């Protein structure tokens, strides 16, 4: 499961099929958006997708792109613990 995650995040990751590798890609390449309530959303925006594609190679990501790049996670800014994970179906609003 996901490292340094709440029980809720572990259950949600399992339910939604989000693997440790995807979590690591989010940590390594994801963009951060603070929610101003003590958490940050980490997700793949356009530039994060391009960086991940260059790192993994376009052939490796082409098959998985539809699911991998929809993933996001919410992380506590105080403890660094993952609060929850999910799949985006709507745009993340930037402030």
pLDDT tens digits, residue range 17-62? 898 888 999 999 999 999 888 999 999 988 988 888 888 876 665 6
Rounded distance between C-alpha atoms, residue 40 and residue 51, angstroms: 20
pLDDT at res. 92: 72
Predicted structure pTM score: 0.83
Of 64, 72, 93, 90, nearest to 16 (Cα)?
A: 72
Tokens of 14: 């399992």
Q: Is 81 helix (H, G, I), strand (E, B) or coil?
A: coil
Pick the residue with more confidence: 3 or 75? Answer: 75
Alpha-carbon distance 40 to 43, whole Å? 10
Which of these, 12, 16, 3, 14, lies nearest to 67 by C-alpha position? 16
Q: What percent of the chain has pLDDT over 90?
A: 45
């Amino acid at each position: 499961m996901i490292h340094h995650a709440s029980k809720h995040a572990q259950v949600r990751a399992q339910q939604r099929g989000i693997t440790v590798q995807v979590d690591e890609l989010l940590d390594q390449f994801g963009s951060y958006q603070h929610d101003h309530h003590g958490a940050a959303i980490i997700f793949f925006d356009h530039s994060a997708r391009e960086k991940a594609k260059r790192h993994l190679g376009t052939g490796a990501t082409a098959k998985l792109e539809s699911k991998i790049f929809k993933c996001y996670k919410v992380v506590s800014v105080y403890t660094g613990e993952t609060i929850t994970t999910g799949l985006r179906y709507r745009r993340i609003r930037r402030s």
